[in-house]
Structure 1
Amino acid sequence: MVGTGARGAVEWLVSVAPDPETTRWEWERNPLGVTLLPAGRLWDVLILTGELGYPTLDVLTRLVDRPGPVLADFGDSRTGFLVPPGTAARWIGTGVRTAGNGTWIVVPYPGRATGGVRWLVPPDGTGHLTDPGVLELAMHEAAAQLAVRRPRDTDE
């Protein structure tokens, strides 16, 4: 555990960088407020469409006290759930993109507004992540809710 709050979140996030101190220094001064960090060390990312991601987050927040960190991209077309490392390599569900070992993700600075990628649920610095099994259940529930809301095609 690095610490809690925005400062702890920054330290936890940059701890995966090849050069954490330089990455943190550059990130704090980046006018866009984002940096690239490698996935697969402390977390993987499961990336859902915004159409499924937001309802999944809604269901997830009813299932657990606090989900792990969740990202949204510019335009809300994708949501990314931070999950334990190794999840991406084992994920077999369809319609979900994964970022694991060997991939890099755009990460916004916690607690700072950016024009693009942002935290829906910011990291707290403790390393808390979303349990992939619980996330999968939330995805199924969200998908079922979406299916009920969609108008059915009728053959006439």
Structure 2
Amino acid sequence: MAGAKTAVEWLASVAPDPEACRWEWERSPLGVALLPAGRAWDVLVLPGELGYPTLDVLTRILDRPGPVLADFGDDRMGFFVPPGTASRWVGTGIRTAGRGTWIVVPYPGRSTGAVRWLVEPDGSGTLTDAALLELAMHEAAAGLAGGGEGG
């Protein structure tokens, strides 16, 4: 699968030793690597109840959003955004991973118990624009607020 190979190379490129990272990642029974945020991407971490409707909005307006992770139990979702976003983000209830932080990343194309890709990286460096993500979050939140309450 050529797409997975490029995605692996793109992700591993941020590791302090990309070759060692790739070697360990491919052989690890867990299928995850710890990679530094803030180099090729930052990650905005949304609660799952907001993340899923936000991803629905993004997939309606974009051909392909940037990579998106979900943790075990779908409690949190991580949207990959351009580097530097985390230091400028002011939204409440959203955790950020930027320069100086590390994230658990599953090997593309493999499922793991702890974390999985909802949108795998395409290997080209496609990320979700932070302003577009924010608009999608607002639309998703408005839908949640108007949707299931009072009745």
Length-normalised TM-score, structure 2: 0.97
Corresponding residue number in structure 1 for 2:148: 150
Corresponding residue number in structure 2 for 1:98: 96
- CA drift of 1:63 comes to 1.2
- Taking only aligned residues, the RMSD between alpha carbons, in angstroms, comes to 1.0
1:88 paired with 2:86, answer yes
1:69 paired with 2:61, answer no
Cα distance in 2 for residues equivalent to 1:132 and 1:63? 14
1:41 paired with 2:42, answer no
Corresponding residue number in structure 2 for 1:23: 21
- CA drift of 1:122 comes to 0.1
Cα distance in 1 for residues equivalent to 2:52 and 2:135? 14
Which residue identity does 1:44 align to in structure 2?
D
In the alignment of these two chains, the number of paired residues is 150
Which residue identity does 2:21 align to in structure 1?
T
Q: Where does the alignment leave 5 or more consecutive residues of structure 2 unmatched?
A: none
- CA drift of 1:20 comes to 0.4
Which residue identity does 1:27 align to in structure 2?
W
- CA drift of 1:95 comes to 0.9
Please say which of residues 144-153 and 123-132 is displaced more in the overlay: 144-153
Cα distance in 1 for residues equivalent to 2:150 and 2:6? 48
Cα distance in 1 for residues equivalent to 2:96 and 2:12? 20
CA displacement 1:64-91 (0-9 Å, x = unmatched):
1110000000110000000000000000
Corresponding residue number in structure 1 for 2:51: 53
Larger Rg: 1
Q: Where does the alignment leave 5 or more consecutive residues of structure 1 unmatched?
A: none
Q: Classify the secondary structure of the residue corresponding to 1:11.
A: helix
- CA drift of 1:100 comes to 0.1
Which residue identity does 2:54 align to in structure 1?
T
Q: Between the two proteins, what is the percent identity of the paired residues? A: 77
Corresponding residue number in structure 2 for 1:108: 106
- CA drift of 1:152 comes to 2.9
Runs of 4+ in 1 over 6 A off after TM superposition: none
